[in-house]
Amino acid sequence: MLPHKPTILIVAGLCFCIAFTPPRQVAIAQKQKKTAPVEAVPPPLNEEFKFGNVDLELLEQSDLLDLKLERDGLVLRDEAANAYLRNVGQSLIPKGLVLEKVSWRFRALRDPQPNAFALPNGSIYVTTGLMTLIDNESQLAAIIAHELTHVMRRHTYMQNRSNRKKFLSMNIMAAVGAYAPYGVVGAVITVVTTVAPFIVMATMYGYSRELEREADLKGIDMMISAEYAPEEMIGVMKLLDKDIEGENIRLFYNDHPALDERIKYLSTYLGARADKVTAQMELNRERAAYFRNMEALMRHDLQLSINVGRFRSAVYLAQRLIDFHADSENLFWLAEAYRTLGPRAPELASKELTNSAKKSAAKQREKRTVEEEERDLLATPEGKDNWQRHQQKAEELYLRALNAEKPVPVAHRGLGMLYEKLGRANDAATEYEKYIEQAPSATDRERFQRRIESLRRTQ
Amino acid sequence: MSINRPFLVLRLRSFIFTVATLSLFVFSSQSSRAQFLHPKIQSKKTTIRNVVVMPAKVNIVRDSMKGPEGMAAESDELSVRVEKMVTEVLSKQKHVTTLSPREESGQADAEQKYSVADFQTKFDGLLPNIKKKRSDVKKGRFSMGDEVLNKNVEKSADAIVFIRGEGKKLTGGKTAFNLLVGGVPAYLRLQIGIVDARNGDVLLYTDPVLAGDPTTAIDRLRKALEKGFKKLPAVSAQ
């Protein structure tokens, strides 16, 4: 009897793993499912969801994450922006909807990377980077509607439950594989236990993509119910697809469907609702109102973008602000964006937007600091040319900002930094002095005081 | 006898695998206990007397048979403990005084929070470059720039300390699984950078690692930190 025992155990283990991997979630099944039509059912007002211990633990972690984001200074404390988000969010929630252990909170997160996420406790975060990138309130509503669906349909809990089962299956398979006997049976078991984790992994990501798809489509339904232009959901996807910084890398496994795929299925879904397509004039009006409400947040985001080296995004976003309102402060921000862009090209070339080029650029970012990247680019004729053009453009914009109505003192600071880089020590020191004189309580006063001393010493 | 042979082979294989995994981890830990000093510190042109320790960011997860689970409360607790211990080691072993960052209240509170958050982000941005080639700290390659002066730290501070860390705690089931099948044991890996408060140069980088449950290994954590700062010249007690 004994010689058969390990084999029986192994086979029993494999059966257990297979039992935990329902075939409907296998990647192949996913592909077939994607073509199936999705019915437009509004979120149910009374849900069937029952909380288990695992869900309650996840809920507790979410509450703690809320506190952490607040404590670490990552939540934007701009009451106007948060109130705006709250109003848009509340207008999307179906009237009378009561969800257990959900308390809706809508907040802007200080992060220049375009992103949004929902926690299962009802906290919805939209980054300043995404709020600056989009054009109007309908697009903001599209983002929030997508995230609201994740909360309403309890996606995070469902995915957590599903992932736990799959992780357990993978671990059991690893154990079975490690103790596989020699011989043909052993070889078969080894092959199966080596391949199976990849399939399980594919089902994990497949399930995630399925939930994202549902959030996109239900989001459209919610937008229509709240009388927002539903086609703006596609507008958001198109904006995200722009990939100004060349960072949307396609990996072997992806938890979101590809953006072009999302645009395709949303267009198909929306095709039946063509009567809802909003007139361009109406959207333009909405855009102006959105920019008025978000101007302060957008400027804040420009600073964050420059801080983390997202210079191309800064130029693109500052130009949009200028197109909307060319006041002294916005001119200053465009000047800052061009000055810090330095020797880089304002837009990535098509050869830099291939997946392999993006991957190698990401590796380069780990190897080189921002200063080293600039130094290397300045050693090339294109880099030198870009640098000269951008410095000229920046100087012109700083001067325009200083000659505009209500000039901002920071424009002197920016001009000083530009002159310092150009080796015009005297002009730089003069500009810094003007800045300190006009903004005596600036937090960076000490930094520029030191620079003035150093520049005056070198003359 | 032929009955026992496959079992013997299996046990031997699993034993070899576990030993190999553990030794790989232990040896890699040893090598990563290295510390790298800026030439200014090595040549004693700059001495670190007063530092400001930025809030530590340590993140640990519980690894179970059903995958990783967040440990937000424990991570916060550990962050505070690591921060305190770094302060303690610096003051006891190196006689370095720790200053508190300038506190502001009321309306300025939000700005202060933003300022600290941006400062931490700036370090996080530089960290992958440092980690990629830690030994370049010895060449004085890494700097956060004179923007550090904006950050409103105490004026008499010579340096600012940044602490990052990540770790893993194993459940009973996962520990047993690792013993049988192999896998990464519980650990805590810290990344500590000391930055010049005047020009932003990275003066020291060290990344101590300790094996074992990160939430309970207090003594080992202290030892790991002491090793991490071993090369940092002590301030002569006056």
DSSP notation for A275-310: GGPPPHHHHHHHHHHHHHHHHHHHHHHHHHHHHTT-
Query: How do A123-127 and A105-109 pair as beta strands?
Result: parallel
Residue of B67 and A202 predicted with greater confidence:
B67
The pLDDT value given to residue A346:
93
Distances, alpha carbon A77 to alpha carbons A84, A306, A404, B110, in Å: 13, 20, 29, 7
Residue A42, CB-side half-sphere exposure with 13 Å CA sphere: 13
> Exposed, middle or buried by CB within 10 Å (0-12, 13-18, 19+), for A379?
exposed
Here the contacts of A444-448 (C-beta below 8 Å, separation 24 or greater) are A444/A413, A444/B149, A444/B150, A446/B149, A447/B146, A447/B147, A447/B149, A447/B150, A448/A413, A448/A416
Bridge partners (DSSP) listed for residue B68: B63
Per residue in B124-144, pLDDT (tens digit) is: 999 999 999 999 999 999 999
What is the reported pLDDT for B130?
A: 95
Q: pLDDT digits over A17-28, tens only?
A: 444 444 444 333
B73 vs A164: CB contact, 8 Å cut-off?
no
Are B146 and A451 within 8 A, CB to CB? yes
Contact A168 B66 (CB under 8 A): yes
Residues of A in contact with B172 (CB under 8 A): none
CA atoms of B46 and A389, how far apart (whole Å): 40
Q: How far apart are CA A246 and CA A241, in angstroms?
A: 10
- Residue-level pLDDT at A98: 85
Residues of B in contact with A368 (CB under 8 A): 129
List the structure tokens of B117.
């958050």
What pLDDT was estimated at residue A9?
47
Q: Which of B3, B10, B110 sits opposite A2 (nearest CB)?
A: B3
In a 10 Å sphere around its CB, with 0-12 CB exposed, 13-18 middle and 19+ buried, how is residue A273 labelled? middle
Cβ pair A203, A25 in contact under 8 A: yes
Where is pLDDT greater, at B24 or A401?
A: A401
Chain B residues with CB under 8 Å of A57 CB are 69
Of B215, B128, B224, the C-alpha closest to B167 is B215
pLDDT given for residue B109 in this prediction? 74
**Tokens, residue A335:** 């000047």
User: Does residue A1 surpass a pLDDT of 50?
Assistant: no
Cβ–Cβ below 8 Å for B177 and A171:
yes
Cα dihedral across residues A261, A263, A264, A265: positive or negative: positive
User: Per-residue pLDDT tens for A376-386?
Assistant: 999 999 999 99
Residues of A with a Cβ under 8 Å from any B Cβ are 2-3, 6, 57-58, 61, 64-65, 68, 72-74, 77, 110, 163-168, 171, 174-175, 178-179, 181-182, 304, 307-309, 365-369, 371, 443-444, 446-447, 450-451
CB-based contact A13:A175 (threshold 8 Å): yes
Question: In a 10 Å sphere around its CB, with 0-12 CB exposed, 13-18 middle and 19+ buried, how is residue A50 labelled?
Answer: exposed
- Which pLDDT value is given to residue B107? 52
A11/A338: higher pLDDT: A338
What percent of chain A stands above pLDDT 70? Answer: 87
- Which pLDDT band, with edges at 50, 70 and 90, does A38 fall under? very low
| Amino acid identity at A353 | L
Token representation of residue A317: 């976003």
User: What is the per-residue pLDDT for A437?
Assistant: 95
* Predicted local distance difference test score (pLDDT) of residue A281: 67
Cα separation, B203 vs B195, in Å, equals 5
- Give average pLDDT by consecutive 10-residue segment, chain B, 238 residues: 49 60 51 77 86 92 91 94 92 80 59 87 94 93 88 77 94 89 89 92 92 84 86 71
pLDDT digits (tens, 9 = 90+) for A205-264: 777 888 999 999 999 999 989 989 888 999 999 998 888 898 877 766 677 778 888 888
Asked if the model's pLDDT at residue A29 lies above 50, the reply is: no
- Test B149 with A444 for CB contact under 8 angstroms: yes
pLDDT in tens, A106-141: 999 999 999 999 999 999 999 999 999 999 999 999
Domain definitions of chain B by residue range: 4-228
Question: Higher-confidence residue: A274 or B65?
Answer: B65
Average pLDDT over residues A309-329: 95
Q: Quick check: A443 and B150 CB within 8 A?
A: yes
Side-by-side strand order, sheet with A123-127: A105-109, A123-127, A116-118
pLDDT at B21: 58
Tell which phi-psi region holds residue A154, choosing left (phi > 0), alpha (psi between -120 and 50) or beta: left
